[in-house]
Amino acid sequence: MTGWGGEVVTATDRLTLRTFREDDLPLYAALNADPEVVEHLGGALSRAGSDEIAAYANHLWARRGIGLLAVERTEDGTFLGMCGVHVLASYPDDLEAGWRLAREHWGHGYATEAASAWLRIAFEDKGASRVISVTDPPNRRSIAVMERLGMTLDHEADIDEHGDRFHAVVHSISRERWIERSGR
């Protein structure tokens, strides 16, 4: 059974990163059904599919301390979307940073801020030697976030994730580069 307690993972100046709560689910489903949000993510999800992803994320957090979890604006409690680190079937030895925000929250630096916090968790708490991020080549918005995080193009690949095959660009940042950039 999935707990929907909204357990806080970490916080930034503007954001609270936490597990999903039940009241997030309709909002998460709405962003997962938005054609612009999911344009480079395999297409719209049903409410049931969206809920399954949130439940899996909470389960992954409880089991492994990773997951693509809820992002909330701290000042007013607004649910913005999700961000986190997880493992892709195509890259089982790497943590992958990912994010998905509702369109009305694009352009405010939230994805970069949330992903930066998750990079700290990946490198400091999880001991990752590098973190990757994967997207379709035309997804300029996500590539821009990757670049702001200090990630650089690692390679291009044809990836098969659970039966969905697509051409991708894979960006990465090493632990050493992250330390150098973050001053830790």
pLDDT at position 41 is: 80
160 vs 63 pLDDT, higher one = 63
39 vs 170 pLDDT, higher one = 170
Confidence of residue 39 (pLDDT cuts 50, 70, 90): confident
Name residue 28's amino acid. Y
pTM of the model: 0.94
Class of domain 8-182: alpha beta
Please check the confidence at residue 137 and state whether its pLDDT lies above 50.
yes
Average pLDDT of the residues of the chain? 94
Please check the confidence at residue 97 and state whether its pLDDT lies above 90.
yes
Please check the confidence at residue 104 and state whether its pLDDT lies above 90.
yes
Alpha carbon of residue 93 to chain centroid: 17
- Cα→Cα distances 61→4, 74, 94, 141, Å: 12, 21, 16, 27
DSSP 8-state assignment for residue 117: H
Q: Report the pLDDT averaged over residues 77-104.
A: 96
Q: Report the pLDDT averaged over residues 170-184.
A: 93
Please check the confidence at residue 49 and state whether its pLDDT lies above 60.
yes
Q: Report the pLDDT averaged over residues 66-80.
A: 98
Sequence ranges of the domains in the chain: 8-182
Q: Report the pLDDT averaged over residues 20-32.
A: 97
138 vs 183 pLDDT, higher one = 138
pLDDT at position 1 is: 47
Confidence of residue 8 (pLDDT cuts 50, 70, 90): very high
pLDDT at position 2 is: 64
Instruction: Tell me the β-bridge partners of 152.
Output: 172
Please check the confidence at residue 27 and state whether its pLDDT lies above 70.
yes
Please check the confidence at residue 184 and state whether its pLDDT lies above 80.
no
Q: Transcribe 27-88 into DSSP letters.
A: HHHHHHH-TTTTTTTTS---HHHHHHHHHHHHHHHHHHS-EEEEEEETTTTEEEEEEEEEEE
